[in-house]
Amino acid sequence: MARSYYDDNFGHYDDMDDPDNVEFYRETQRTNVRKKCQGCKRMVSIQPRYAYCNSCADKRERGDDLYCDDGDDQGENDGEE
């Protein structure tokens, strides 16, 4: 069965044979909020402390300066508090 695990915080999940990963995914889904991504302006489901969806965070990490209105340091998807 090709169930795909995806969310807007982290993108696609791997290793979902591991119950810990499934539990983490579910917990993330449960605590997501609907908000507008500061990068692509889409409505996404992300953690309250994040400002950017997964694809925008990727672009920012790669240094693509597509979204350079750096008013704050929110939205780096590296798990910081």
Give residues in contact with Zn ion (CB under 5 A): 37, 39-40, 53, 56
Q: How far is the CB of 30 from Zn ion (least distance, A)?
A: 21
Give the pairing of strands 11-12 and 6-7.
antiparallel
Secondary structure element (H or E) that encloses residue 9, with its range: none
Nearer to Zn ion, 28 or 37 (CB): 37
Q: How far is the CB of 51 from Zn ion (least distance, A)?
A: 9
Q: How far is the CB of 33 from Zn ion (least distance, A)?
A: 15
**17 neighbors 25 (Cβ within 8 angstroms):** no
SS3 state of residue 11: strand
